Amino acid sequence: MIFRAPLPFVYKWCTDYTPQDLKYGGEKGERRIIKRDSKRVIFENLYDVGRGWSWERHTVTLKPPDAWHSEGWGNYSVSFIDYKLSELSNDRTKLDMRWKSKSGMLSEGKKPSRHLIEDYVKVLWRHGAKFVERDFKRFARLKNKQLCSASR
């Protein structure tokens, strides 16, 4: 995944964890932030999946300035994801994800294929990338406007 924004901006955006984050991925549900400090964020997601509720609890370890690790447990899946950002030319940033997953308590042994899960996660990040890029453009315009007014 490539973001058209510089690495420090992307890192801050991706690791701020807010209740509104689900909408950035195009998901419908509720996110609650349980705990946040400079090293860790704990949050829960709750989704209505038609046949009941899907619940997840994620513990994210922040590794500034360019990485974070998420461990997620839920009633349908368990996941361990390492995120790593790399700086590219022209204020672009690459996101790499390495992860493992397994079925949760209620998945009844029906674990989706790794390919299916990876495709789903990539779609979520593509949706999110649009918001990162939109917010960076706004930030850059505001910063430019402040610089112009300060130089007068």
Instruction: Let me know how many helices (H) and strands (E) the chain has, helices first.
Output: 3, 7
- Does CATH place domain 2-150 in 3.30.530.20? yes
pLDDT grade for 96, boundaries at 50, 70 and 90: very high
For residues 55 and 74, the answer to whether their CB atoms sit within 8 Å is yes
Greater model confidence, 133 or 53 = 133
pLDDT level of residue 106 (50, 70, 90 thresholds)? low
Q: Each residue of 2-37: pLDDT tens digit?
A: 999 999 999 999 999 999 988 887 888 999 999 999
Domain boundaries, the chain: 2-150
Residue 117 has pLDDT above 60, yes or no: yes
Query: What confidence score (pLDDT) does residue 63 get?
Result: 98
| Residues 32-65 pLDDT 10s | 999 999 999 999 999 887 777 889 999 999 999 9
pLDDT of residue 10: 96
Separation in Å, CA 95 to CA 3, 31, 49, 119, 147: 8, 23, 28, 15, 30
Strands 40-48 and 77-88 turn out to be unpaired
What pLDDT digit, counting tens, does each position of 72-89 carry?
998 877 889 999 999 999
Confidence of residue 144 (pLDDT cuts 50, 70, 90): low
The answer to whether the CB of 56 falls within 8 A of the CB of 45 is yes
Question: Which pTM was predicted?
Answer: 0.83
State how far the Cα of 60 lies from the Cα of 81, in Å rounded to an integer: 9
